[in-house]
Amino acid sequence: MVKKRFSTHQTKPTLRKHPRRGRPEHLDHTDHLADSLLEFLAGREGFAGLGEIILGLDLPRHERKTIKDLLVALEKRGKIQRQGNTYRLSGDSGLIKARLELNSRGFGFAQVEGAAEKDKDPFIARNNLNGASHGDTVLIRMISGPKDRPEGRVVKILHRGITRLCGIYTAAGKSGYITPDNDRLPFTLLIRRNNSLGARSNTAVLAEILDYGEAGRPPEGKIVEILGDPLTAPVQIRMAIEQFELPRSFSSTVEEETGRLEPLTECRGQRSDLRHIQHVTIDGETAKDFDDAIAVEETAKGLRLYVSIADVSHYVRTGSEIDREAYRRGTSVYFPGLVIPMLPERLSNDLCSLVPDQDRPAFTAILDFNAKGQRTGAKFCKSMIRSRKRFTYTTVRRILYDREPAARKEFSGLLPMLEGAKVLAHLLWLRRMKRGSIGFDIPEPEILLQGDQVASINRAERNLAHKLIEEFMLAANEAVAETMDREQRPVLFRIHEHPDPLKVEQFTQATIVMGLQLPPFEPTPSWFAGVVEKAKNSPAQYVINNLMLRTMQQARYSPDNAGHFGLAAEYYLHFTSPIRRYPDLVAHRVLEQLLARSRDKDKRPPVLADAIGMDDAALHLSKRERVSVDVERNNQSRLSALFLQGRIGEEFAAIISGVSSFGMFVELLDSFISGAVPLGDLADDYYILDSRAHRLVGERTGRVFQMGGLLQVRLVHVDMQSKKITFAPLPPAE
C-alpha cells in the first residue's frame, strides 16, 4: 500500500497568496531558507555538515527535514556540492559576486566581477539591499530576467567597502551624529560623547565606522580627526580626497626605497648622448614636474622632431615597492594647488624632472617628417639630454604667435628651433584634421585659491602653444603605438571605440533642433569633425561639443589595438607622461625590450609585477583613470558651490545645457559652473516638456527654454551638502 503524503487527519497547508508577489507564502519561506543556506555556505571556506548548517542558521529542530529536502534539491540543481554528509557552495550557485554602487536616492547597481563591457549592471532596489551600503562587495541573486536592465537582490555582504567617512558633525545632548558628506551614504552615524574628540557642531570630521547597525539600531562610529570649517577650500579638497579614498602619503618602505636611488648623470651603455640637441620644456606656469622635452631641427628633406620623455623606468624597477605602489595608484590626481602623485616627490620633482641645465636620462622618439608633415621615419633610443630652457605656454605664445620683439630678442638663441617647431606643429595639425580627427575644443575652468577661499573660477587659457605641444605628444604616441603593433609586442594601447548608434541618433536630433544643418550621417570621425566645425563660434558651440563628448564611448586601455576613433588614429597609446600615468611606464619598458631585441618571450624581463596580465592591468588602470576624473569633477562641484555660497541673489549669463521633466540645466558662461532650474520654480507659467525638440514651452505665454539658448539667471540656493546649485531665470527683456 502506498502511503499518502497527507492523511485525512492531517491539515494540508493553505497556499495563501503573498500580498506583493502573488505567489504561495510557503514558497517564499522556502526561497528565504534557500538564500539563507547559500549565504551561510558562501561565508565558509570548506564543507559543512547538517548540524553545523542548522546551528549556523539558528533554525528550530522541526526545520531539520525541510533543510534536508532543500539540500537535496539544491544539489540536484547544481547549486551545492556534497561530500558524504557535508556540503559546500558550487560554482553554479546562482549567487553573483559584485560591488554595489548606490545612488543618492537609495537604490543602486551591482558591478558584477568579470562582466563584459556591454553588459548592463543589475539594478538593486532599496528594499533589496539587505543592509548593504555603497561600495560593499556583495553576493547577489538575480530576481528578474534581462528586460531593459536585469534586477537582483543582495543575499550576503562579503566585505564592507567604506569603513571611514567624512561628514558634518552635529552635537545632540550626550551624543551626536555625523551626516556623511557623500550623498550615496543615506544614513547618519551615531557618535557617543567619548568618541567625539570634543568636536563642535557644524565641523567637518573624519570618522571610523565601528558598527553598521541593524534594524532599529543606527550605524555607530568614532571621530578620528577634526578637519575644520567645511566652508573653506582646503577642507573641501580634503573631503574629496577622503571620499575617494586617495592615499595622502607613501609608506615608509616606499620612501626608504626612493631615498636609496642614485641619480644617473653619465651617458653610458646603450644610451645615446643627445645633450647637444636644443631641448626645451613647455608647461603651465604652476607645473612642478617636467616629464617631456621637445626639439625640432631642419633636415635636407624636411623637419626632425625629438620628443624626449623622462626615463622613469631607469629608477622604477618592475616589482619594486615603488612600482607596486605606482601601479595601485595608476595615475596622479590634481587639485588646485595640490597633487596626489603617482610617484614620490623625489622622483617626480627631482630625479625624473627635466629641469634646465641638468643632465637627465630620457627615452627619445626621433621622428622625421617631409615638407607636407608626413612621417617618413621613426627611431627610438634611451638617451641623455640637457634642457636649455623651462618655457611656459604664455612665453612661447608671446615669442611665436604674438611675435613680441622683446621676447624674441631675449630668446634669440632658441628662436630658429622654436620657429621650426611652429611650422611642424601646424603641418601635423593640418594632416590630423584632414584625416578626420575630431577637434574638440571644450574650455575648462581654472580655479584659483586665495588663502582658504576660492578667489575665482575662470576659463583656463588654451593658446596655440598648448596645441603645439599637443601635436608633438600625439605624434610620439602614435609612432610608438604603430611600432608596438607592427612588432606584435604586448603593451597597453589607448583605444576609443565607435559611438553607440542610439546615442548618435539622439545627438543628431539635439543638434538639429539647436539650428545646426548637418550632412547625412556617416559613422566616421570626419562626420563628427564636420559637426564641430559647423558649431564653431555659434552660441551653442559649448553645449554641442559637450553633447558630442557624452555621445562618444569612454577611451580606455586595452592589450588589443582597436584604434582611436576620436583621433582618427589607427594606432595610439600613452608614452609621454610616465611620471603621472602608469600605462606610459609600461610602454617605456616594452620599448626597452624592443631596443634590446629580446625576441625570446621567456627571456624578456617582466613589465608588470606579480604576474599581472595585460588584460587585468588594462582594466585596473582604466578604472584608476576614471576615479581620477571623478575626483576632479567632484572637487570642481565642491569648490563651485563654495565660490557661490555667499552670492545668493546675484545674476549671471548662462546657457541651457539640458532640459528634462525635472526642469533644465544651465552652465554659467564665464565660469562653467553647472546648476539646475527646477520645473516647479518656473512660477510665471505652466511649462510643458517637448522632449523631441529639447525644450520647455510655456502653455500660456509661449515662452521657450531651448537647449543651447542663452539667458540670464539669478542664484537662489547653494546646498553644500549635496553640492547642488539652483538658479531661477530672469524675466525676458521687454
CATH of the domain at 39: 1.10.10.10
Instruction: Cell numbers for 498, please give them.
Output: 565607435
Q: With 90 as the cut, is the pLDDT of residue 560 above it?
A: yes
Residues 261 and 403 both lie in one domain: yes
**What are the C-alpha distances in Å from 724 to residues 183, 191, 660, 712, 721?**
11, 27, 17, 19, 8
Residue 408's domain comprises 252-459
Q: Is residue 384 part of a domain?
A: yes
Residues 501 and 594 both lie in one domain: yes
* Cα–Cα dist 602/365, whole Å: 27
**What are the C-alpha distances in Å from 72 to residues 28, 78, 645?**
18, 10, 63
Instruction: Say what the pLDDT of residue 14 is.
Output: 34
Q: With 70 as the cut, is the pLDDT of residue 96 above it?
A: yes
Confidence of residue 24 (pLDDT cuts 50, 70, 90): very low
Contact yes or no for 285/292 (Cβ under 8 A):
no
Q: Is residue 635 part of a domain?
A: no
Residues 192 and 80 both lie in one domain: no
**What are the C-alpha distances in Å from 479 to residues 380, 473, 673?**
10, 10, 38
SS3 136: coil
Q: Is residue 640 part of a domain?
A: no
Residues 171 and 155 both lie in one domain: no
Residues 59 and 140 both lie in one domain: no
Report the CATH number at residue 127: 2.40.50.140
Instruction: Cell numbers for 668, please give them.
Output: 554659467
Residues 147 and 276 both lie in one domain: no
Instruction: Cell numbers for 291, please give them.
Output: 616629464
Tally of CB atoms within 10 A around 371: 10
Residues 439 and 315 both lie in one domain: yes
Residues 437 and 537 both lie in one domain: no
Instruction: Cell numbers for 225, please give them.
Output: 580627526
Nearest to 577 by CA among 336, 337, 281: 281
CB-based burial, 520-545: b 16+ in 10 Å, e otherwise: eeeeebebbbbbbebbeeeebbbbbb
Tally of CB atoms within 10 A around 165: 23
* Range 208-228 average pLDDT: 90
Q: Is residue 671 part of a domain?
A: yes
Q: Is residue 7 part of a domain?
A: no
Confidence of residue 11 (pLDDT cuts 50, 70, 90): very low
Instruction: Cell numbers for 204, please give them.
Output: 567637518
Instruction: Cell numbers for 490, please give them.
Output: 604586448
Domain boundary among 124, 140, 159: 159
Rounded to two decimals, what is the model's pTM?
0.85
Residues 299 and 226 both lie in one domain: no
Residues 270 and 411 both lie in one domain: yes
Q: What backbone torsions phi and psi does residue 135 show, to the nearest 5 degrees?
A: 90, -10
At 172, which helix (H) or strand (E)? strand 164-172
Q: Is residue 61 part of a domain?
A: yes
* Range 56-71 average pLDDT: 81
CB-based burial, 691-718: b 16+ in 10 Å, e otherwise: eebbbbbeeeeebebbbbbebebebeeb
Residues 6 or more apart whose CB falls under 8 angstroms from that of 611 comprise none
Confidence of residue 600 (pLDDT cuts 50, 70, 90): low
Residues 422 and 491 both lie in one domain: no
Nearest to 240 by CA among 378, 531, 447, 456: 447
| Stated length of the chain | 734
What would the pLDDT profile of 323-369 be if each residue is shown by its tens digit?
Answer: 999 999 999 999 999 999 999 999 999 999 999 999 999 999 999 99
Q: Is residue 15 part of a domain?
A: no
Instruction: Say what the pLDDT of residue 202 is.
Output: 95
Q: Is residue 12 part of a domain?
A: no
Query: Beta strands of 220-273 (E only): which ranges?
Result: 220-228, 272-273
How many domains is the chain partitioned into structurally? 6
Q: What is the mean pLDDT of the chain?
A: 89
Residues 536 and 614 both lie in one domain: yes
Q: Which of 312-316, 559-563, 658-662 has the lowest mean pLDDT?
A: 658-662
